[in-house]
Amino acid sequence: MANPESSQRISAKVGLFVVIGIAILAASILTLGTMRKSFITRIDANATFANVNGLTKGNNVWFSGVKVGTVREITFTSDSKVRVVFSIEAESQKFIKKDALVRVSSDGLIGNPIILISGGSPSVPMIENGHEFRIEKEESTQEMMKTLQANNKNILSITEDLKSLVTGIRAGQGSIGKLMKDEAMYANLTKSLATVEAATRDLKQGASGLATLTNKLNAEGNLVNAIATDKEIYPSIKTTISTLQTTSDNLKQASLAAKQMVDNLEQTSKTINKMTTNTTSPIGVLLHDEKTAKDIKETISNLENSSEKLNQNMEALKHNIFFRRYFKKQAKELEVKKE
C-alpha cells in the first residue's frame, strides 16, 4: 500500500504547479492584453477607399505619429469600393476632430500599410462612435513610380545636355571653350582682371582717404566741427549771411537806381543835343545866331555899366548929409548881429 503521507505530498506539489501555471497564464494574458490594448475602451469609425493598397485586418491606425487603433473589418461596397472599419481608443477620441481626413499610407518606405489620420480644427467637435471619415487623396505607389520614371528621364536628358556642353567646351566652342583654348583671349581677360583689381584698389584708397578726411572734419577744434556743433557760431553765421543777403539786395536796388539815373541823363543829353541842333529853339539861337549872341553880350555889358554907376550913386548917398545917419545906423545893426 502506498503511504498516505506521500500521496498528500504529491497532491500538494501537483496543486502548487497548477496554481503556478494558472498564475503564469493569467500574467501572460494580462501582459498580452496590455500590449495589444485589448482591455482599453474603444469606439468604431469607418472610411470608404477606392484602393487600400494591401491593407488587412490588424493593421495599425496612426494619428500625429501615435498609434491610436487597429483595423477591424474590410468589406466591399456595391460600387466596387472598399469600406474599412477600424477601432480608435477612447483616450485619443477627444483629440481627433470631425473634419480630420484619413488616407492609406505605409509604415516607412516599404513598411506595412496603415491608416493615417491627419488634420482637424480645434473649434470642431470630436468624433463620435460610428463616425465616417473623409478621404485624403494620396498618390499610389504606381503613380509615384511613374513620377520617378519621368524624373529619371529628365535627369538623363539633362545629363546628355551636360555631356554635349562639356564636349563643346573641350572642342573650343562657345565663350568658355574659346577662353580655355585661345591664349590671346585669356591674356586679355587677365589684363582686364588686373585693371579691375587696380581700380578696386584705387577706389579702396579713395574711400580710406575720404574716411580720414571725415574723421579730421569731425575732430574737435576743427572749423567745420565748430560750425556744426557750436550753438553760438551757427546763429552768427546765419545772421551774417542774412546781412549779406540784405546788402546784396540793397546793392541790387542801388544798381537799378543808378541805371535809371544813367538812362535819365542819357535821355537829357539827347534832349539837349536836339535843342542845340535845333536853330529855332532858344539855346539853338544862342549857340548859332551871332547877332543874337552879340546883342546879349552888349546887354550884359550895359547891365554891368549900370551896376557900376548904381554902386557909385549908392556910395555918394552914403556920404550925403541927409543919408549918412541912416547908413551909420544900418552899419551898427549889422555889427550887433555879427557879435
In the chain, where are the structural domains located?
A: 6-39, 42-140, 160-221
In Å, how far are 40, 42, 73, 116, 249 from 46, measured between CA atoms?
Answer: 19, 13, 9, 12, 97
Kindly give, in sequence order, each residue whose CB lies less than 8 Å from that of residue 70, ignoring residues fewer than 6 positions away: 58, 59, 60, 61, 86, 87
Bridge partners (DSSP) listed for residue 105 = 114
Q: Three-state DSSP class for 123?
A: coil
**Cα(298)–Cα(94) distance, rounded to whole angstroms?**
144
Distance between CA atoms of 127 and 45, rounded to whole angstroms?
9
Residues of the chain with pLDDT under 70: 1-5, 30-40, 109-110, 138-144, 169-183, 185-186, 217-218, 220-234, 275-289, 293, 313, 317-324, 327
Please report the pLDDT score of residue 223 as a whole number.
61
* The pLDDT of residue 242: 80
Rg (CA), the chain: 65
| pLDDT per residue as tens digits for the range 311-334 | 776 777 666 666 667 767 777 888
For the stretch 5-55, pLDDT in tens is 677 777 777 778 788 888 888 777 766 654 455 556 889 999 999 888 889
Residue pair 71/102 in contact by the 8 Å Cβ criterion: no
Q: What is the DSSP string of 169-200?
A: HHTT-HHHHHHHH-HHHHHHHHHHHHHHHHHH
The grid coordinates listed for 158 are: 539633362
Confidence at residue 283, expressed as pLDDT on a 0 to 100 scale: 63
